[in-house]
Amino acid sequence: MINTAQLKCLSVFSIFALIGFGPISPGCLIGMYLVWRRPEWFSVLVGRLYNHPKNADFITSAQTRKTRIKSFIGLLTLFVIDIIPVPITPALAFIIILSRPMWFYMTVRRIYGLSA
């Protein structure tokens, strides 16, 4: 069952897919901003997307820093790949939004340094 947060995210990334046919990938740019600045609204959005699953991990500041660096490098790589006229990032976002893999939720928790 698709929840409201998923519908909103799918709508936004549909727009990104349409305007992403060019040298700039808005999804990657926003993703890099999210990893760098960690705005509160994104953490709340991901919690709503996943219906706030319960996890008992303890996340250290070293794990947070390492995850942020890896995520930023991954998004930068996607940004470079998205220069070709096929928007890859929105397609990956659609898969993540619809399937809601636990690894993505845990990555966001580590980026924000949040434990359960």
Q: How confident is the model at residue 114 (pLDDT cuts 50, 70, 90)?
A: confident
Q: How confident is the model at residue 22 (pLDDT cuts 50, 70, 90)?
A: low
Q: 39, 85 in Cβ contact below 8 A?
A: no
pLDDT score recorded for residue 23:
73
- Reading the block at residue 59, the tokens are 């996340």
Total structural domains within the chain = 1
Q: 26, 70 in Cβ contact below 8 A?
A: no
**Residue given tokens 């966001």 in the structure block:** 108
Q: How confident is the model at residue 24 (pLDDT cuts 50, 70, 90)?
A: confident
Domain limits at 41? 4-112
Output b/e per residue, 73-89; b: 16+ Cβ within 10 A. Answer: eebeebbeebeeeebbb
Q: Which of 61-65, 104-108, 111-115 has the lowest mean pLDDT?
A: 111-115
